[in-house]
Amino acid sequence: MPEPQLATTSLGKSVDIHRPEGVTAPAAPTVLLWHGSGPDERDVMGPLARAVAARGVVVLVPDWRADAADGGRAELLDSLAFARDHAAGGRLVLAGWSAGAPAAVGVALRPETAGGWRPAAVVGIAAQYDRPARTTGTVLLDDLTAGRAADAPVPVRLVHGTQDTLEDVAYSRKFRAALAEHGWEADLTEIPADHAGVIMTAYDPAARRCRESRDPAVREAAAVTARVIADVALGV
């Protein structure tokens, strides 16, 4: 894959733009992929972003900081505005890992967060959904049970590792059931991976961050995550 193009949002946050081989304009479906709560960790999502882009999808990975005064809301929504401009009205999917997952799904459940706009679909990876989402400030499970979610549901795809000891797969199972109960098209794909492995990385205790994994088993499992995201973006 070619090296990602570096861009900047209006708030000055860096964005990596991963394009499929041979694509130089926004001619392919676009995914906005949010990292977790580690500050400015777009590099952590690089392995997964490259794997998705290799399937024919443009992937935007912005930095954001969960330790900002607003929990990262302004930076997340600013990156969404950047992605919407970049996609130029084409198919745009939101995806996120860990804390980025409820942030992404929250925009679909509460479109007023983005001025009434809804993504074509959303993908949530390895997360809890019973805590306030960084974009909406509300708990997604509460939004569903209170009937305050969007009245025009979009497809939701969840991916979770069965070996995840930080965010148990039971969280995604519960959320998928709640979505289905309230009329949302929701699927859950479970893979043999831990919290880092689900995005093709391994946690490095010395660096206190995730690094790309070269373990064939990790890469094979996370390739499923990439396929789910790409299929959703391509409308498969």
* CATH number, domain with residue 35: 3.40.50.1820
Q: How does pLDDT run along the chain (236 residues), one tens digit per residue?
A: 678 999 999 999 999 999 998 766 556 899 999 999 999 999 999 999 999 999 999 999 999 999 999 999 999 999 999 999 999 878 999 999 999 999 999 999 999 999 999 999 999 999 999 999 999 999 999 998 877 666 678 999 999 999 999 999 999 999 999 999 998 999 999 999 999 999 999 999 999 999 999 999 999 999 999 999 999 999 98
Residue 51 domain boundaries: 5-234
Q: Where are the beta strands (DSSP E) in 98-226?
A: 121-125, 156-161, 186-191, 201-204, 209-212
Are 1 and 51 within 8 A, CB to CB? no
How many structural domains does the chain have? 1
The H-or-E segment that residue 15 falls in is: strand 14-18
The model's pTM is: 0.96
pLDDT for the residue numbered 24: 60
* DSSP one-letter code for 4: P
Confirm if 74 and 68 have CB atoms less than 8 A apart: yes
